[in-house]
Amino acid sequence: MKPLQKTVAFSKAAVNVFFHILTRCNLHCRHCYINPDQHGRSALPMEKIQAWLNRFSDPDRKVNVIFLGGEPTLHPQLAEVIKSAKALGYHSVTVDTNGYLFHDILDKVTPDQVDYFSFSIDGATEKTNDHLRGKGSYKACTKGLLQAVEKGFAASVIYTVSSANLHELEKMPALLAQWGVKRFFIQVLGLRGAWDPEAEPLNRVSPKEWRAVVPQVAEKAVKLGITVTYPKVFLAPQEPFECAGRVAENYFIFPNGRVYCCPLCEDYPIHAHMMEGDQLKAMPPINEKDLFQLSIPEGCVMNKLIQPENISYDADGIPAHKIACCLLKEEVGPR
């Protein structure tokens, strides 16, 4: 039986809150998107986190919260934060982690309080992963993942594809099945954040490489009972472009109070909202929402403005591929 594949469209019925409770991290990943000059350097105090969680909770809608950093388990009150989100009725609570699991977080929360611990692994082997994320990170992350599964937590894995690790992506499904992982998120490399200018540059894979590898790996994982989600990235000529910033509610919150609707904008002070007095305040023009209204042949306006090197053109100057909104996903799962 063929896997069940669908395009995950933007939902007006659900709200997704990507809550960066701090920006500090113990790793220095080569493709980190955090930019402390734009996102802040402090960890939010519990009172502020509580107030902001209150602001985005809504008993009449499905509101999902994802706690991120930096490394969120470095926050000494993460367990309290998680319990607060559950008590407020958030539909799902996820923690994105590098796997070091500081402050004994697995002993301070229960599987019914965390829907997923999502572990970032960027190679099927220690050599490839540690080249991207730092020495010792593969062993630490896989150890943390196995501990989480053993304690009954649902675990997912995030793999950011680049030219440095595409060759190992096909090895991941077997590893995930071995580890007891049921959800796999394949991400496209984002060309943003405070990258080390002295480091060897990372490159995105070409459309041809992406299409040749990613969907096949997804189907391989599905046969092992794993649901796979990955960005659409490239639209076919007949597929319409749609921007999540226009039709959905996604909030990317940072410790300095900036709230973005589009993750591509996060390196720039064009955020649509600001947390002021624990309330969500709309920012004046020109901000990211004004740019979302533009319609161009290349598809995503922000991609064209921020990382135009991702777009190729034919001899007549026509885009070879229309770039999809980065929040438009393909999901492949068992029937």
Residue pLDDT, tens place only, 52-65: 999 999 999 999 99
When pLDDT is averaged across residues 215-228 and rounded to a whole number, the result is 96
User: pLDDT tens, 121-146?
Assistant: 999 999 999 999 999 999 999 999 99
Q: How confident is the model at residue 276 (pLDDT cuts 50, 70, 90)?
A: very high
Predicted local distance difference test score (pLDDT) of residue 320: 86
For the chain, which domains are there? Answer: 4-240+324-333 (3.20.20.70)
Instruction: Give the per-residue pLDDT at 198.
Output: 61
Check pLDDT > 60 for residue 18. Answer: yes
Average pLDDT over residues 282-289: 97
Q: Is residue 61 within 8 Å of 42, Cβ to Cβ?
A: no
Give the pLDDT of residue 186: 97
**How many angstroms separate the CA atoms of 185 and 230, rounded?**
6
Instruction: Give the side-chain half-sphere CA count within 13 A for 228.
Output: 28
Confidence of residue 7 (pLDDT cuts 50, 70, 90): low
pLDDT, position 3: 52
The CA radius of gyration of the chain, in Å to the nearest whole number, is 19
Q: What are phi and psi of 160, to 5 degrees?
A: -90, 115
d(CA 225, CA 335): 9
Q: Are 272 and 289 in contact (CB under 8 A)?
A: yes
- Asked if the model's pLDDT at residue 2 lies above 70, the reply is no
Measured between alpha carbons, how far is 102 from 4 in angstroms, rounded to an integer?
A: 37
Q: How far is CA 94 from CA 52, 64, 115, 186, in A?
A: 17, 8, 6, 17
Among the residues of the chain, which ranges form H helices?
A: 36-39, 46-56, 78-87, 105-108, 126-133, 137-150, 172-179, 207-222, 244-247, 288-292, 301-306
Query: Among 91-95, 189-193, 277-281, 327-331, which is the least confidently predicted range?
Result: 189-193
- Stretch 269-285: mean pLDDT: 97
Amino acid in the structure at residue 330: E
Bridge-based pairing state of the strands 273-276 and 155-161: unpaired
In contact, 150 and 181? CB cutoff 8 Å: no
- SS3 for 263-289, per residue? HHHCCCCCCCEEEECCEEEECCCCCHH
Find the range with the poorest average confidence among 3-12, 80-89, 301-310. Answer: 3-12
The gap between the terminal CA atoms of the chain, to the nearest Å, is 8
